[in-house]
Chains A and B, each alone.
Chain A
């Protein structure tokens, strides 16, 4: 009989953690998240001085009587959807690093064909500044990252010591599409929204939180061939005009491909090296490139995306319709 020793203990814990991770990757958090979100109500403190309520109620009545006509008038001059999106775009032009929690949910078999190794719903953390981005696991104990640097080179760090990198001119089409699904260049994207979408600002019921502006964006035309966006829901902070949440419905050949939800997690100033593969590696490390063991690079990338995506036996435009 084998007595549990320290290496066996570690191995068992690693297996259990991996088992929990796999189970977590199969979880679609959205339905339960929506339940929790719906249940949450602003908490009200119980007053220890009931007489205060009478005074407050009287004051509120006076306030309503005085302000009601003003509020009605003010509603007419609330910023339109286009104005809010334009202001949000200005805010996102600033060279600030923003972190979004990204949830990509497959809506058709095509998304599975692009990256067959990935679960139906995948969550990641996305750091973005302009066209640069990098993605990491939302769980700190999973040490992988991938992204695109300022030279448009695509890279994956499989841990602290091994990585692959593709030059901009050799990134397979499917990986480009995959990047497009998971990344977010807000300044460019909001420009597209202003040019090609009909925007509607949602009325917020009086009893709901007014600190968020909700805008629905519907594409005037969806390209019949290739990737596109059919519609989006944008939640903008009413005060700062920062985009807090974005739900994008992506299509391929006019058919649903995936729904991607971006939720703002934090804003910070990151080291520019974080957007390069070297920023995620520790000595000694090896980066497999076009010039350094390209076969090994292909094998490693195939583990991540699946053989078909990396080797690409068929070009993207020959993919079946979903």
Chain B
């Protein structure tokens, strides 16, 4: 019978951890890859690989960081592999803009979830590395952790975050400069 400070058995703890982390992990992978089906495969593989080695680290303390690192790496690999098959990206690695939201009718823009859509659109125009860096930063990861996840240096991770922020700030400028209501 468990005492007052007992933790439950390892398998139950692992499964609870999977359930708790899975929605955000999948949302993150989908945002990086812009494809839910591929993201599911990537996230699935990352969990399986991570759990196979769960006896070698503290899941509660390090599991989420390791998971997001593995997902970031896997997304970059996947993206690189897919790019060689069918390029949907510009020369500099940014996604091909499907539509310019600034061309939309202002009334249409204002009608529904305008800011939310703008954030998603702006994220979509970043390179995968910039998007990953900025999303990891927004989830509380340090530059060192982001660098490890992206396989680069802290300085480069800082540059990626800075450029991504700058691009986002430019994209979202119109929301800050919205004219006052008449």
From known contacts A4-B166, A123-B23, A211-B9, infer whether A20 and B28 are also in contact, taking CB-CB under 8 Å: yes
Would B16 and A19 count as touching, CB distance under 8 A? no
- A7-45 Cβ-contact flags toward B at 8 Å (1 or 0): 011001111110111111111010011011101100100
* Chain B interface SS verdict (over half): helix
CB < 8 Å: which of A1, A16, A29, A267 contacts B26?
Answer: A29
Inside 8 A of A294's CB, which chain B residues have their CB? none
Q: Is the CB of B9 within 8 A of A244?
A: yes
Residues of A within 8 A of B27 (CB): 20-21, 23-24, 26-27
Interface members, chain B 1-52 (any A CB < 8 Å): 1-2, 4-9, 11-13, 15-16, 18-20, 22-24, 26-28, 30-31, 40, 43-44, 47-48, 51-52
Is B109 an interface residue, CB under 8 A from the partner? no
Chain A residues positioned under 8 Å from B44 (CB to CB): 32, 35-36, 39
| Residues of chain A contacted by B7 (CB below 8 angstroms) | 266-267
Residues 227-264 of A at the B interface (beta carbon under 8 Å): 237, 240-242, 244-245, 263-264
Chain A residues near B31 (CB-CB < 8 A) = 19-20, 23
Looking at B1, B18, B26, B138, which has the most chain A CB atoms within 10 Å of its CB? B138
- In the complex where A1-B173, A4-B165, A36-B48 touch, is A265 in contact with B22 (Cβ < 8 A)? no
Whether the pair B22, A9 counts as a contact (CB closer than 8 A) is no
With A4-B166, A19-B120, A264-B16 as contacts: A244 and B173 at CB distance below 8 Å: no
Q: How far is the CB of B164 from chain A (nearest CB, A)?
A: 9
| With A29-B26, A237-B9: A4-B4 Cβ-Cβ less than 8 Å | no
A149 an interface residue at 8 Å Cβ cutoff? no
Q: Verify if A209 is at the interface (C-beta below 8 Å from B).
A: yes
B88-132 Cβ-contact flags toward A at 8 Å (1 or 0): 000000000000000000000000000110011001000000000
In the complex the two chains form, what is the Cα distance from A166 to B59 in whole Å? 39
Q: Are A123 and B19 in contact (CB under 8 A)?
A: yes
Chain B residue, CB-CB nearest to A30? B19
- Decide yes or no: A40 and B1 within 8 Å by CB, A2-B169, A267-B7 being known contacts: no
Given A16-B119, A27-B22: A242 and B8 within 8 A (CB)? yes
- A241 to B7 alpha-carbon distance, docked (Å): 14
Q: Min CB distance, B23 to chain A, in Å?
A: 4
A271-291 interface with B by 8 A CB criterion = none
Q: CB-CB < 8 A to A32: which residues of B?
A: 22, 26, 40, 43-44
B181 interface contact, C-beta 8 A: no
Within 8 A of B (CB), among A97-118: 101, 103
| B48 close to A244 (CB less than 8 A) | no
At the interface, yes or no: A268 with Cβ under 8 Å from chain B?
Answer: yes
The answer to whether A101 touches B172 (Cβ under 8 A) is: no
Decide if A51 is an interface residue (CB 8 Å cutoff): no
Q: Which of B6, B12, B18, B165 contacts A12 (CB 8 A)?
A: B165
Which residues of A are found within 8 Å of B26, using beta-carbon distances?
Answer: 24, 27, 29, 32
A265-B8, A267-B8 known; A20 and B18 CB under 8 Å?
no
- Identity of the chain B residue whose Cβ is nearest the Cβ of A235 in the assembled complex: B12
A101 touching B166 by the CB < 8 A rule?
no
Kindly state whether residue A62 has any CB partner on chain B within 8 Å.
Answer: no
Which B residues are in CB contact (< 8 Å) with A268? 4-5
Bound complex: CA of A22 vs CA of B113, how far in Å?
Answer: 12
Q: How far is the CA of A3 from the CA of B168 in the complex (A)?
A: 11
> CA separation between A278 and B41, bound complex, in Å?
43
Chain B neighbourhood of A33, CB < 8 A: 15, 18-19, 22
Of the residues B9, B19, B52, contact of A29 by C-beta under 8 Å: B19
- Chain A residues whose C-beta falls within 8 Å of the C-beta of B8 in the assembled complex: 237, 242, 244, 264-267
30 A–B contact pairs at CB < 8 A? A2-B173, A8-B176, A9-B165, A16-B135, A17-B138, A19-B116, A27-B26, A32-B26, A33-B18, A33-B19, A35-B44, A36-B47, A39-B48, A40-B48, A94-B1, A101-B19, A101-B20, A103-B19, A138-B20, A211-B9, A244-B8, A244-B9, A263-B15, A264-B8, A264-B16, A265-B8, A265-B13, A266-B16, A267-B6, A268-B5
Given contacts A19-B123, A36-B47, list 15 more A-B pairs with CB under 8 A.
A1-B173, A12-B165, A12-B169, A14-B138, A16-B119, A24-B24, A32-B26, A32-B43, A33-B19, A35-B44, A237-B9, A242-B1, A245-B15, A263-B16, A269-B5
Give me the 5 closest cross-chain CB pairs, A-B, nearest first. Answer: A23-B27, A265-B16, A24-B23, A27-B23, A13-B138
Interface residues of A (CB under 8 A from B): 1-4, 8-9, 12-17, 19-27, 29, 32-33, 35-37, 39-40, 43, 91, 94, 96, 101, 103, 123, 125, 138-139, 141, 209, 211, 237, 240-242, 244-245, 263-269
